[in-house]
């Protein structure tokens, strides 16, 4: 009976060890999953652009509430926040939002995207997102930054948008989506995807591809830098970085119903077309 008791104790000990191993294994898998689904790096480019975007009431009431949102908002107080997803390997892309501070729907969409990507496990390559190009302009609900239209001076060395181009070059970014809002009666005045045929024909192809995914119309200019000299998309295409501009309709300084969702869908389509998600 004593011998049998020893066997029972040994068997129980093995079962306990087996259970502990299984628990440790499950916890390890869980922790790896959490790490994989929340791999985001937030940095700030101190370009003199910092501001408290929550002072813009439209932005504040529409922001998603989360830890990563708070982190991005704190980074924006010091300059232009950049959120990176991925480890720098594979293809690299950039989503730019807030070139005009009073185009609010796309900025809210960018924050939704950041929250969405922070939970994804299947990101391919590396994605950079700039949700507020000039937080100070967003804070004040102003189209321009320090009296300058940033989408007309991307070809000027030292401008904020030119620094974005230099950032793209430095980080081997091959595709860029520049997301904007267009007011009713303006140009284009409706949800639209814009690209150029020359000198980078891939821009035109991308505009068509995103148009098919979103069912928003597209328009491709014959050549970059002609109709809109100094526009970020145009200067990027002239520098060999395939880029498009995506517009959604909403009044300046306001978020029309459905406009942030439309911009968000454009961002997802941009990433899907370029095989990042």
pTM reported for the whole predicted model = 0.86
* Residue 21 pLDDT: 52
Give the Cα separation of 77 and 30 in Å (integer).
34
Tokens matching residue 165? 């181009």
CB 271 within 8 A of CB 187: no
The token pair at 173 is: 């970014």
Q: List C-alpha distances in Å: 277 to 34, 65, 86, 142.
A: 18, 23, 12, 33
Residues in the chain predicted with pLDDT less than 70, given as ranges, are 1-38
Identify the CA nearest to 127 among candidates 160, 163, 96.
96
Rounded CA-CA distance 32/28 in Å is 6
Instruction: Retrieve residue 106's tokens.
Output: 């796309």
Predicted local distance difference test score (pLDDT) of residue 9: 52
Q: CB of 130 within 8 A of CB of 101?
A: no
């Amino acid at each position: 009976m004593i011998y049998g008791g020893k066997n029972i104790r040994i068997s129980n000990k093995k079962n306990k060890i087996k259970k502990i191993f299984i628990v440790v294994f499950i916890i390890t898998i869980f922790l790896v999953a959490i790490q994989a689904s929340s791999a985001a790096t937030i940095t700030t480019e101190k370009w003199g652009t910092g501001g408290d975007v929550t002072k813009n009431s439209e932005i504040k009431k529409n922001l998603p509430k989360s830890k990563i949102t708070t982190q991005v908002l704190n980074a924006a107080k010091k300059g232009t926040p950049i959120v990176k997803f991925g480890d720098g390997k594979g293809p690299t892309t950039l989503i730019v939002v807030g070139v005009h501070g009073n185009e609010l729907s796309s900025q809210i969409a960018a924050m939704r995207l950041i929250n969405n990507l922070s939970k994804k496990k299947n990101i391919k390559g590396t994605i950079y997102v700039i949700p507020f190009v000039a937080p100070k302009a967003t804070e004040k609900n102003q189209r321009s930054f320090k009296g300058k239209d940033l989408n007309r001076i991307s070809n000027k060395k030292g401008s904020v948008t030119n620094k974005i181009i230099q950032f793209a070059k430095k980080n081997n970014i091959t595709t860029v989506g520049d997301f904007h809002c267009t007011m009713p009666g303006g140009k284009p005045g409706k949800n639209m995807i814009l690209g150029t045929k020359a000198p980078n024909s891939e821009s035109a192809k991308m505009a068509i591809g995103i148009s098919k995914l979103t069912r928003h119309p597209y328009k491709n200019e014959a050549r970059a830098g002609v109709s809109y000299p100094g526009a970020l998309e145009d200067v990027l295409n002239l520098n060999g970085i395939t880029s498009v501009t995506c517009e959604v309709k909403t009044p300046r300084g306001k978020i029309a119903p459905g406009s942030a969702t439309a911009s968000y869908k454009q961002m997802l389509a941009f990433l899907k077309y370029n095989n990042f998600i």
